[in-house]
Amino acid sequence: DIQMTQSPSSLSASLGDRVTITCRASQSISSYLSWYQQIPGKAPKLLIYAASSLQSGVPSRFSGSGSGTDFTLTISNLQPEDSATYYCQQSYNTEYTFGQGTKLEIK
Amino acid sequence: QVRLVESGGGVVQPGRSLRLSCAASGFSFSNYGMHWVRQAPGKGLEWVTLISYDGSNRHYADSVKGRFTISRDNSKNTLYLQMNSLRVEDTAVYYCARDPSGVWAGARFDPWGQGTLVTVSS
């Protein structure tokens, strides 16, 4: 299986800040990487796919980059509704795997 | 709008079976691959299984292979997950999700249903 490792596991930031979450794959996955946001008690929501493509309806404050083994999710101008857990997910092969999640707290 | 609604969860004893359903609406169900993804209480996300738009291709996570079966009825716009020989470690919220990508490499999950809780306990 391809292992996905996110860092940090948790972080705290203030309104208006910019934060970056990193996801590293155990082998190259090209650009087959998606990012999801999960608010407590809710289903996950797709934010980014193909490493850098913004899902329709997602604010442009969210952006993704990377290829190969290293990827980042950047959230600019943090808003209260961004408080959530974020997951990366690889789809290089059909044994799809997720990162362990990064919990973002807005101060 | 696109909507997925899971049902069928509940409490079941180890070794028993359960069937989950996912009712789809607001899109052409027969045109999309579908997935099941689960989340154990307080834990992260785990992909479980996928099925192609026409049911001809299926893949399973090693953790459920041989015990779970995914199927679909395109005439009823419904996805199913038959879960046999359930284990305590299968306890989780089970989500169904549409795959808009059309390809397995590059698959993504959007949208997701609200989930249904399966608890395996004696």
B58 strand-pairing partners = B51
Read off the pLDDT of each residue in A29-38 and give the average, rounded to a whole number. Answer: 97
Interface contact A49, partner B, CB < 8 A: yes
Q: Across all residues in chain A, what is the average pLDDT?
A: 97
Question: What's the burial of A4, exposed, middle or buried (CB within 10 Å: 0-12/13-18/19+)?
Answer: buried
Handedness of CA A4, B69, A48, A19 (dihedral sign): negative
A63-98: pLDDT as tens digits? 999 999 999 999 999 999 999 999 999 999 889 999
Structure token pair of residue B17: 């079976």
Contacts of A96 in chain B (CB under 8 A): 35, 47, 50, 107
Q: Do A45 and B114 touch (CB under 8 A)?
A: no
Which residues from A are below 8 Å from B46, CB to CB? 98
Residues of chain B with pLDDT under 70: none
Looking at residue A59, its pLDDT comes to 97
What share of chain A has pLDDT > 70, as a percent?
100
3-state secondary structure of B48: strand
Tokens 């996950």 label which residue? Answer: A44
